[in-house]
Amino acid sequence: MSIEMEEKIVTPPPAPVPALEVRGLVKHYPGVKALDGVDFVVHQNEVLGLAGENGAGKSTLLKALVGLVKPDAGDIYVRGEKVRLRSVVNAADHGIGMVFQEQSLVPNLTAAENIVLGSEGAGVRGGVYRWDRMRRLAQEQLDKIGSPIDPLARTDSLSFADRQMVEIAKVLRIEQRSQHPPVIILDEPTSVLESKEIETLFAQVRRLRAFASVIFVSHRLDEVLDVCDRVTVLRGGRSVGDVPTADAAPAELHRMMIGSTGSDDHYHDTAFERSGEEPRPRLVVRGLSGRTFRDVDLDVHAGEIVGIVGVHGSGREDVCRALFGAEPTTAGEVTLDGDALQLSGTRAACSAGIGYVPAERKIEGMVGPMSVADNMTLTRQRARCSGPLVSPRKQASLVDSWISRLSIRTPHRGTAIQRLSGGNQQKVVLARWLVSGDVRLLLLDHPTRGLDIGARSEVYRLMRELASNGVATVLLADSLEEAIGMSDRIVVMSDGRVTAEVGCPSGAKPTPLDLVKEMV
């Protein structure tokens, strides 16, 4: 008896629909093509890293995904459905939310109020808050990420890391709007966090993966490789690569970002060696005390870069601000080239030849709607004047020369600085103190925060060049590695006091562990 066997055709299951997909996205600005046909895909329950130099198009892409920018061409698909995202609210209706690099919380409201703001629902009745219900709504979101924050705590009483958790919990409320697993965008979420806070954030990101998709943006490539499943790289407004993090390395990602092989030595330790020090320090600080620091002694010679390191709350940021007259002091003496300084305000500091680059670039370092030219000459009005009047020709010549010298990428000197990438904004802020040529002391508070490798290297090169020209520099670095790589000496602070001073000669640099021992 013959048995006829029927051939069975096994149909593979359909591929899961991506949580988010972008096809051929294009966006033009005057003189700039920010996006030039970007393609990328975010799978469900995936953490996708988005990497690229400043100016690569990341910010424009993210703004398009949350409805803040209208693309000129291309399509966006959410769970397979083609959508037009016209506003942040519209994007939230489709389940897309973003934790912005500059936090968007209202400081004098509670965490609960911030979390449910704009989507109070049952938390409000007759225009009046139902606090028990509000607290439960907020607690539900905080529980999703395992956060112990009290929903009724005022937001301005929380640490930056805890406020970041509130931002994430706030974004998770979009789940109630769309009834779909959310897509969460984290834009530089670690830029001002300490190492322990970063570990906490990463734990929450991994927890999010269980019920959401995440787009993680960071200039720290080691973080991208640590927390992401895949990395998409943008360069010049285009998608140039997509690799699983298991198969990637920082050097390879850097090569994709800049189009060539990068060097691991970004600090260029021997680029501007100095033959010797002045017999007397340029800056002498003795017994300086203030709200968060006390009895601080500090010497900085002309042409020397001195780093100050310490954990959050060590007082180092306030010391830096005090030297610029932006933080009150209660005791101590400060001299610059032998002349006593009266730390009465920032105007006096500028007149004395002190420059300051703040950590919060967008808040304290620049005026967003003003032009590149006006921001660059903001504290040096005489440099652009002929007599009592502003000379447009003199300003144009001065500004254009610094744009060229620092390779600032801007369509025009009249372009609003807020239209530039973070790295180019920082170059403009640095140039502000260079246009008159009379800066003797430069205070740098996290000058490379939020910058990519290429932009950081440019800032390092400029710092070395200024040092070689005799500028004394105080550096609050973005990492211990940066402090070690760039400093000639390092001062360690803990609980508002100087606890150690460590030499950093070329070829005999300390290790991060050497510094940590003095910081705790």
Domain containing residue 207: CATH number = 3.40.50.300
Q: Starting from the edge strand earliest in sequence, which strands make up the sheet with 20-29, in order?
A: 32-42, 20-29, 73-78, 81-83
- Count the domains in the chain: 3
Residue 509 in any domain: the answer is yes
Q: Select from 258, 277, 305 the last residue of a domain.
A: 258
Residue 392 in any domain: the answer is yes
Q: Label residue 62 by pLDDT band (50, 70, 90).
A: very high
Length of the chain: 520
Check: CB of residue 94 under 8 Å from CB of residue 57.
no
Instruction: Quickly list H helices, 218-304.
Output: 221-227, 250-258
Residue 511 or 277, more confident: 511
Residue 445 pairs in a beta bridge with 476
Residue 5 in any domain: the answer is no
Report pLDDT for 395.
Answer: 81
Share of the chain above pLDDT 90, in %: 35
Rg (CA), the chain: 26
Distances (CA, A) of 41 to 15, 44, 332: 13, 10, 57
Q: Select from 385, 408, 436 the last residue of a domain.
A: 436
25 and 163 fall within a common domain: yes
Flag whether pLDDT at 283 surpasses 60: yes
Flag whether pLDDT at 270 surpasses 60: no
196 Cβ neighbours under 8 A, 6+ residues apart = none
Residue 477 or 30, more confident: 477
Distances (CA, A) of 29 to 56, 57, 72, 370, 415: 14, 12, 10, 17, 11
Residue 391: give the domain boundaries. Answer: 370-436
Residue 33 or 472, more confident: 472
Distances (CA, A) of 323 to 204, 238, 298, 470, 474: 38, 44, 11, 19, 10
What is 11-56 written as a DSSP string? PPPPPPPPSEEEEEEEEEETTEEEEEEEEEEE-TT-EEEEE--TTS
**Cβ count near 57 (within 10 Å):** 26
268 and 248 fall within a common domain: no
411 and 457 fall within a common domain: no
Backbone angles phi, psi at 78, to 5 degrees: -115, 115
Report pLDDT for 160.
Answer: 75
139 and 274 fall within a common domain: no
Cα separation, 126 vs 73, in Å, equals: 44
Report pLDDT for 274.
Answer: 46
Q: How far is CA 355 from the centre of its chain?
A: 21
Flag whether pLDDT at 494 surpasses 50: yes
Mean pLDDT of the chain: 84
Residue 175 in any domain: the answer is yes
320 and 219 fall within a common domain: no
For the chain, the first-to-last Cα distance in angstroms comes to 86
Flag whether pLDDT at 288 surpasses 90: yes
Task: Give per-residue burial for 297-310: e unless 16+ CB within 10 Å, then b.
Answer: ebbbbbbbbbbbbb
Q: What is the pLDDT of residues 94-116, one digit of tens each?
A: 989 888 876 678 888 899 988 88
Residue 132 in any domain: the answer is yes
461 and 431 fall within a common domain: no
Q: What is the pLDDT of residues 329-360, one digit of tens each?
A: 999 999 999 999 988 888 899 889 999 998 87
220 and 324 fall within a common domain: no
153 and 295 fall within a common domain: no
160 and 279 fall within a common domain: no
Helix, strand, coil proportions of the chain in percent (round to 5)? 35, 25, 40
Residue 320 in any domain: the answer is yes
Report pLDDT for 476.
Answer: 93
> Which of 76, 67, 69 lies closest to 25 in space, CA to CA?
76
Structure tokens at 51: 């990497």
Report pLDDT for 271.
Answer: 41
> Which of 493, 108, 448, 106 lies closest to 307 in space, CA to CA?
493
Report pLDDT for 387.
Answer: 62
Helix/strand/coil (H, E, C) string of 185-240? EEECCCCCCCHHHHHHHHHHHHHHCCCCEEEEECCCHHHHHHHCCEEEEEECCEEE
Q: Label residue 127 by pLDDT band (50, 70, 90).
A: low
462 and 412 fall within a common domain: no
| C-alpha torsion 31→256→215→70, nearest 10 | 20
Helix/strand/coil (H, E, C) string of 471-498? CEEEEECCCHHHHHHHCCEEEEEECCEE
Q: Label residue 250 by pLDDT band (50, 70, 90).
A: confident
Q: Label residue 44 by pLDDT band (50, 70, 90).
A: very high
Residue 12 in any domain: the answer is no
Distances (CA, A) of 200 to 103, 190, 206, 219, 498: 18, 10, 10, 19, 28
213 and 134 fall within a common domain: yes
Cα separation, 396 vs 412, in Å, equals: 10
> Which of 148, 143, 145, 109 lies closest to 129 in space, CA to CA?
109
Q: Select from 238, 258, 278 the last residue of a domain.
A: 258
Flag whether pLDDT at 260 surpasses 60: no
Report pLDDT for 101.
Answer: 72
81 and 195 fall within a common domain: yes
Flag whether pLDDT at 438 surpasses 60: yes
> Which of 460, 420, 450, 429 lies closest to 52 in space, CA to CA?
450
| E runs forming strands in 280-427 | 283-290, 296-300, 305-309, 329-336, 339-340, 354-357, 385-386, 389-390
Residue 177 in any domain: the answer is yes
Flag whether pLDDT at 198 surpasses 60: yes
